[in-house]
Amino acid sequence: MRRPSRPRRTPSTTRPIYFEENIASITSVDDFLSSSRLKNYVLTAFGLRTEYTSSSFRKDVLTSDLDDADSFVNQFDDDVYVSLAKAFNFNEDGSVDGGLLSEDQISLVTSA
List, in sequence order, every beta strand (DSSP E) within the chain. Answer: none
Domains of the chain, start order: 12-111 (1.10.3700.10)
pLDDT computed for residue 111 by the predictor: 63
Alpha carbon dihedral 81, 57, 30, 43, in 10-degree steps, equals: 40
The yes-or-no verdict on residue 106 having pLDDT over 90 is no
pLDDT digits (tens, 9 = 90+) for 45-97: 888 877 777 889 999 999 999 999 999 999 988 889 998 898 887 889 998 87
The yes-or-no verdict on residue 9 having pLDDT over 60 is no
pLDDT computed for residue 57 by the predictor: 92
The closest alpha carbon to 88, from 21, 42, 52, belongs to: 42
pLDDT digits (tens, 9 = 90+) for 12-36: 445 677 887 888 888 899 999 999 9
* Single-letter amino acid code for the residue at 40: N
